Amino acid sequence: MGQNSLYNTIKIERERGTPVYLQIVNTLIKEIQSGRLRPGTKMMGIKSLATLLNVNKNTIEKVYTELELQQWIKRIPRKGTFVSEKLPDFKPKNWNNQRERTVEKSSKNYSENSISVLTTKSKKALIFDGGLPDHRIIDNQAIARAHRNVLKADRYTTLFSYTNAYGDTMLRKELVKHLNDTRGIPCDEENILITRGSQMAIFLGMRILLKNNEIAIVSNPGYFGTINVLEYIGANVLTVSVDEEGLVVDEIEDICKKNKVKVIYVTSHHHHPTTVSLSPSRRMSLLKLAEIYGFYIIEDDYNYDFHYDNAPLLPLSSLDGLTNTIYTGSFSKTIGPGLRIGYLLADKKIIEKAVKIREVIDVQGNPIMERAMGVLLQQGEIDRMLRRSRNIYMQRRDYLCEILNTLFSEEIDFKIPEGGLAVWAKFNESINLMEVYERALAKNLNIVLTPYYATSHNATRLGFASLTFSEMEKYMGVLKSVLI
């Protein structure tokens, strides 16, 4: 395929909510991931590409800047722009060619060794959480209006009865548009199950794919909620390391060469708990391993909408076409936990199995609230809420990092997170985090702590999104006092 022919695959839809430059960025990323733009390939010049696509040169400059920030390309002065040579050089198959997969029912084995979170029942304690949105800044009036209008409208009276275990039809239709527009995931209504938060979605996915003692891979450190699910199911849990590029994919390959792996759980965009993003080269390699070894990737994209320094990275599922991936997300993690609305995105056959399990434990969700969320998506209110929240959270991230640099340079090591709602704070090895937790609690500050992180990594997540500047100053003052 000639270079001009390749760039002719870029289709710009000016009526979409996604900016034109991001539409071009996302298309070029898929061309790189597909192998049609190979490592070392020289990209078309800015002026030529702008002319070909009938856009302003500044738009293509933004495109190349964004691609370079995300490490897909490299610009070399006086030579040109090239696809990064650090990316793996292979041509994956057409991921949209769905293949039949055998999905077994899981066992009922149960392990008591779950990972807990230290908290307190005191209603008066100040809460320093591990990364929650601030419910005080959401547009509760917009949500109330949508909910009230659904309750009042005669055409919605059927929502008071049993409706659909898949979730509200309108919400699923709007999610198809939203996920395609913002994440580039090809899907339709049959690929979506509305759940009560992402934890239910993760549970259903794991329950379908795993039987007792079958192997699942997670990261170390990793999200405790998923580890709890895997222990409940009775899976054989193996771990791989995390570094500044995310999951160490070479370790995954080593495990796959010796074992039959069924599932790998990833938080590819903002790794939980360390916040690092899975690098482009590792994303491509992981998808290739899934094709070779036949495992599923459960991609938990819990904070996709909160990325601050550049555009969000496209999910693994955007290229895979739900062949080897299952995608989970939640409005509970972005707007407020009280909403309890998440979603499971997967191949139609997996969704059908998930619905059957869901009907056993929960006949349906909350159809009235789900319809209200569908209305808010349709009206663009959710996008407006997320944009406002993103601006506020970025300012709060910067302020917390400034405090850490100023007051805790000797005690805490950290990197400014590109996205998410928390900082991964690694404490000096001389500091006992469990003792810090107890001393802080005695001063009425509850640092919501996962003992596993504290004892194994001497680190914890310090959430900034739910705290105002003055609250941060107060909480960090208490933390400083118990570290002295």
Q: What domains can be seen in the chain, in order of their start residue?
A: 3-83 (1.10.10.10), 126-137+384-483 (3.90.1150.10), 140-379 (3.40.640.10)
Phi, psi dihedrals of residue 283, rounded to the nearest 5°: -60, -45
Cβ distance 299 to 264 under 8 Å? no
* pLDDT recorded at residue 111: 39
Model confidence at 450, pLDDT cuts 50, 70, 90, reads confident
Percent with pLDDT over 70 in the chain? 90
Residues 6 or more apart from 1 whose CB is under 8 A from it? Answer: 36
CA neighbours closer than 13 Å in the CB half-sphere of residue 136: 6
pLDDT of 211 strictly over 60: yes
- The verdict on pTM exceeding 0.95 is no
| CA 101 – CA 400 distance, rounded (Å) | 46
Residue 405 tokens, joined: 């640099």
Model confidence at 361, pLDDT cuts 50, 70, 90, reads confident
The most confident of 13-17, 152-156, 214-218, 380-384, by mean pLDDT: 214-218
Mean pLDDT, the chain, rounded, equals 87
pLDDT of 5 strictly over 70: no
Q: What is the mean pLDDT of residues 403-425?
A: 96
Point out the least confidently predicted range of 99-108, 336-345, 405-414. 99-108
| CA 347 – CA 103 distance, rounded (Å) | 11
Shortest CA distance to 264 belongs to which of 243, 235, 244? 235
